[in-house]
A and B are shown apart, each in its own frame.
Chain A
Amino acid sequence: MLAVEAFRATDPVTYQESWSTDSIVAVTDGAYRRAYLGSLQLSLTTAVIGAVLGLALAVAVLGARRGRLLRRLVLTASGVLANFGGIPLAFAFIATIGGQAGVLTVLLRDFGVGLGGFSLYSMSGLTVVYLYFLVPLMVLTIVPALEGLRPQWREASDNLGATGWQYWRYVGGPVLAPPVIGATMLLFASSFAAYATARALVGSSVPLVTLQIADALSSNVLVGSENLGKALALGMVALIGVVMVFYTWVQRRTQRWLQ
């Protein structure tokens, strides 16, 4: 445990104290402010879309007619793809729709369909790529909650004369809301922290905090910007910290219900 503690103590949180607030001030405006906003925008978009698609997929799989096989297939695939972030993912997408040589790009062009100005190396490109590991992550985190929805609740509701809509309005929705919100926050944190995929895809062309930190550390921009990197990282940790506190609070409520 000592090794763990040592690393904990070295987090920028404690390290930051001995510096002035200059760096902190610096990261709240200009290019860095843009990077935070960019990261927030990307994380929020991907988290919400990923949550919606992941939830739809999980519901579709759990309710499918020939459930067993499909279910195992999707869950295993989700387990793999949720971990399939980083470098290989970026290259898979480059091979698919990257530039003019992407397989899908070429294929669509042969059919006379253009990608309509869509570029993989942009914010919307990153969104599409991030969803590739965020949707499976959503499936993995939300399936236990969906399985916790007991069929008896639905039947009791039907039996008491409720419509399907009423069931979701009064029971299903309220019971599922906390885990869905919690999972969305997990997706947000995961998207916010992602670095490798973005680096391999867009270099520094899209403003993202993680890319800015890396640049600041490698002093691509100006000499002595290491402190700036630390301040940026501190900001990230603080943001994630807020999200996690909220997440734990939501989880606590859920676990009480889904015992």
Chain B
Amino acid sequence: MTATLPTTVAPETGRRPRRRGAGAWRVVTLAVLGLYFLVPIAASVWYSSRSNGALTAEFYTGIPSAPGFAEAFGRSLVLAVLTVVLSLLLMLPTMVLVDLRLPRLRPTVEILTLLPLVLPPIALVVGVRSVLAWAPDYFYGTPLAEAFFALQEPSLPWILVLVYVVLALPFVYRALDAGIRSVDLRTLTEAARSLGASWPRVLVGVVLPVLRTSVLNAAFLTLALVLGEYTIASILGFQTFPTWIVEVSGSQPQLSVSVSVLSLVVTWGLLLLISALDRRRAGKDS
């Protein structure tokens, strides 16, 4: 029955009037750059869907049965999954711990994890090769050397997983950090603890579900990274999906282009999925 005035109403947002005649350069910029970005994709699709002037899907349907594809792609996929699992196992507890218990270490962790972003992969691979060279040089005949050789097993090169974990650190860190910053993990865990939950239970039952989207985010980014990584695999001499594309490009240029188009589409799909998940989360929060 009483009408008391609310004093915290959202303010009106003013709209700027448009300056006249400023639109032309925008249109030109968008058109020219749009063309620049669309033409190579369109041309690739065109190039990979013609055979002797006729429309064909043979270069796409032929991908799975192309010699070497299944093996290389399968290997890349396994590497990607292993990398995702390993980097999450490494980073998730570390970051939660830093956030809850050791906030002073935060800047250090941040710098350490972002460093690989600026480290040229080619320089990293030089270092990795030097270390691998220790095995025959210094440790020959010791179990350590055996371990080193096992790392370089061509069918499943674990060494690549280790390097990719390092390369993926910045992406995993950023994705998880966004999630951790958007929720008050401390309050959440304290609430759970005060209600009697044990630490492991808090981690699995509270922290993990809250960070679900950012964990997925990190996983997708890592997946895309590993599936596209060429430098390290090629210099260390392993055959993965990207090195296979280069290999077949000599004899079957159209196949290499069709695979490239597909990999673009897959990356696009993954990233769209991420942004859709993000939006859903943002929608739920507001």
Interface residues of A (CB under 8 A from B): 1, 3-4, 7-8, 10-12, 15, 53, 56-57, 59-61, 63-65, 70, 76-77, 79-81, 83-89, 91-97, 102-104, 131-132, 135, 151, 154-155, 164, 189, 192-193, 195-196, 199-200, 210, 213-214, 217-218, 226, 229-230, 233-234, 236-237, 240, 243-244
CB-CB < 8 A to A230: which residues of B? Answer: 126, 130
Contact call B230/A86, Cβ cutoff below 8 A: yes
Q: How many angstroms from the CA of A1 to the CA of B22 in the assembled complex?
A: 52
**CB atoms of B275 and A76 under 8 A apart:** yes
For the residues of B in contact with A, the DSSP-based class is helix
List the A residue with the shortest CB-CB distance to B165. A3
Q: How many A-B residue pairs have CB under 8 A?
A: 196
Binds A, one of B26-34, B67-75, B142-150, B184-192: B26-34
Closest to A57 in B: B33
Report which of A102, A199, A244 forms a contact with B43, defined as CB distance below 8 A: A102
Binds A, one of B1-9, B195-203, B207-215, B262-270: B262-270
Q: Do A92 and B43 contact each other (CB < 8 Å), given the known contacts A84-B267, A195-B231, A244-B118? A: yes
Q: Closest approach, in angstroms, between the C-beta of A72 and any C-beta of chain B?
A: 8
Which of A80, A91, A233 is close to B44, meaning CB atoms less than 8 Å apart? A91
Closest 5 CB pairs of A and B: A193-B120, A88-B260, A95-B47, A196-B230, A96-B43
Given the interface contacts A7-B166, A92-B264, A236-B122, does A103 sit within 8 Å of B37 by beta carbon? no
B residues near A, CB below 8 A? 16, 18-19, 22-23, 25-26, 29-30, 33, 36-37, 39-41, 43-44, 46-48, 90, 94, 112-113, 115, 118-131, 162-163, 165-166, 169, 224-225, 228-231, 234-235, 242, 245-246, 249, 253, 256-257, 259-261, 263-264, 267-268, 271-272, 275
| Across-interface contacts of A80 in B (CB, < 8 A) | 264, 267-268, 271
Instruction: Say how far B110's CB is from chain A's closest CB, in angstroms.
Output: 11
Residues of B within 8 A of A85 (CB): 228
- Taking CB atoms, residues of chain B closer than 8 Å to A196 are 230-231, 234, 242
Identify whether the interface residues of A are mostly helix, strand, loop, or mixed: helix
Name the CB-closest residue of B to A16: B130
Given known contacts A76-B271, A199-B246, what 8 new A-B pairs fall within 8 Å (CB)? A81-B37, A87-B228, A88-B260, A89-B260, A95-B257, A104-B43, A192-B120, A230-B126
On chain A, the residues within 8 Å of B225 by CB distance are: 83
Task: Closest A residue to B276 by CB, please name it.
Answer: A76
Are B128 and A10 in contact, with the CB atoms below 8 A?
yes
Minimal beta-carbon separation of A61 from chain B (angstroms): 7
Give the docked Cα–Cα distance between A196 and B230 (Å): 6
Given contacts A7-B163, A79-B271, A95-B47, contact A88 B264 (CB under 8 A): yes
Q: Which chain B positions have C-beta within 8 A of A104?
A: 39, 43
Q: Which residues of A contact B43 (CB under 8 A)?
A: 92, 95-97, 102-104
CA distance A242 to B124 in the complex (A): 17
Do B256 and A12 touch (CB < 8 A)?
no
Query: How many Å from the CB of B214 to the closest CB on chain A?
Result: 16
| Also in contact, A91 and B120, with CB within 8 A (given A10-B130, A60-B26, A102-B43) | no
Q: How far is the CB of B70 from chain A (nearest CB, A)?
A: 18
Q: Which residue of A lies closest to B13 (CB)?
A: A151
Q: What is the CB-to-nearest-CB distance from B222 to chain A, in angstroms, rounded to a whole number? A: 12
| B120 surroundings in chain A (CB, below 8 A) | 192-193, 195, 210, 233, 236-237, 240
| In contact, A95 and B127 (Cβ under 8 angstroms) | no
Query: Are A214's CB and B235's CB within 8 A?
Result: yes
**Judging by beta carbons under 8 Å apart, are B121 and A195 in contact?**
yes
- Cα distance, A11 to B162, chains bound together (Å): 14
B123 contact set on A, CB distance < 8 A: 11-12, 193, 213, 233-234, 236-237
Residue contact B26 to A217, C-beta cutoff 8 Å: no
Q: For residue B260, which residues in chain A have a CB less than 8 angstroms away from its CB?
A: 87-89, 91-92
Q: Is the CB of B261 within 8 A of A7?
A: no
B245 and A193 within 8 A (CB): no
A76 proximity list for chain B (CB < 8 A):
271-272, 275
Which A residue's beta carbon lies closest to that of B15?
A151
Contacting pair A91 B271 (CB below 8 A) = no
Shortest Cβ distance from residue B112 to the other chain A in the assembled complex, whole angstroms: 6
Known A-B contacts A12-B123, A88-B263; A240 and B33 likewise in contact (beta carbons under 8 Å): no
Q: Which residues of B contact A61 (CB under 8 A)?
A: 30
Contact of B126 among A1, A91, A217 (CB under 8 A): A217
The smallest beta-carbon distance between A133 and chain B, in angstroms, is 10
B127 touches A195 (CB 8 A): no
Identify which of B41, B94, B119, B246 contacts A1 (C-beta below 8 A).
Answer: B94
How long is the Cα–Cα vector from A155 to B271 in the complex, in angstroms? Answer: 37
Which among B19, B224, B230, B253 has the highest number of chain A CB atoms within 10 Å? B230
The residues of A that contact B22 with a CB separation of less than 8 Å are: 63
What is the bound-complex CA distance between A234 and B41, given in angstroms?
36
Known: A3-B165, A76-B275. A60 touches B30 (CB 8 A): yes
Contact A95-B48, Cβ < 8 Å, known A84-B264, A195-B231:
yes
